[in-house]
Amino acid sequence: MTEESTLERGGCLCGEVRYTFPRTDVLSAHHCHCKDCQKSTGSGKATILFIPVDSLNLMGELKTFTVVGSQGSHVTRGFCANCGSPLISYVAEMPAIKFIKVGSLDDSTWVEITSSFWQKTATNWSPVDDTHPAFAANPES
């Protein structure tokens, strides 16, 4: 049974930035409860898919904002310059992977969370999901 991988689609609220990727290329999915994700999403956490850079086809232009993360890594968050929707982020020190904001998918019903990051800064109004593993901060390193 050789079935073509489903091509997943997503994009921002206004539609100026769109992307596609094959579902089978997804590496994992995570909730991140770090303070930067709370600030940039205006919510209790960011929910992100890890995808190889080469698997992601981006259409349209992202505006980006880069900060130095808690462990010295350079985290760049990409969003639509027109409507502000956060879409894709990446870490300079992890050049092979990009992170897609799960809420920007047209259909995210198939996503299964692998683990949560930054349990120690999770809020009481958006607690860590205890049905999967959680890390106090970033995994390992």
- For the chain, the C-alpha Rg in angstroms (whole number) is 15
Which two structure tokens, joined as six digits, stand for 44?
A: 């209790």
Cβ 112 to Zn ion shortest distance, Å = 19
Q: Which one, 81 or 111, has the nearer CB to Zn ion?
A: 81
Which residues 6+ apart lie within 8 Å of 2 measured at CB? Answer: none
Residue from 10, 12, 90, 101 in contact with Zn ion (CB under 5 A): 12
Which two structure tokens, joined as six digits, stand for 121?
A: 């800064």
Residue from 14, 53, 67, 96 in contact with Zn ion (CB under 5 A): 14
Residue from 10, 19, 31, 37 in contact with Zn ion (CB under 5 A): 37
CB count, 10 Å around CB of 66?
14
Q: Which one, 22 or 135, has the nearer CB to Zn ion?
A: 135
From the list 30-38, 62-70, 102-110, 125-133, the region that binds Zn ion by CB under 5 A is 30-38
Residue from 56, 80, 88, 128 in contact with Zn ion (CB under 5 A): 80
Binding status of residue 27 toward Zn ion by CB under 5 A = no
Cβ 87 to Zn ion shortest distance, Å = 8
User: Which has the closest alpha carbon to 115: 133, 136, 101?
Assistant: 133
At residue 48, what is the residue type? Answer: I
What's the burial of 136, exposed, middle or buried (CB within 10 Å: 0-12/13-18/19+)? exposed
Binding site for Zn ion (CB under 5 A): 12, 14, 16, 32, 34, 37, 80, 82-83
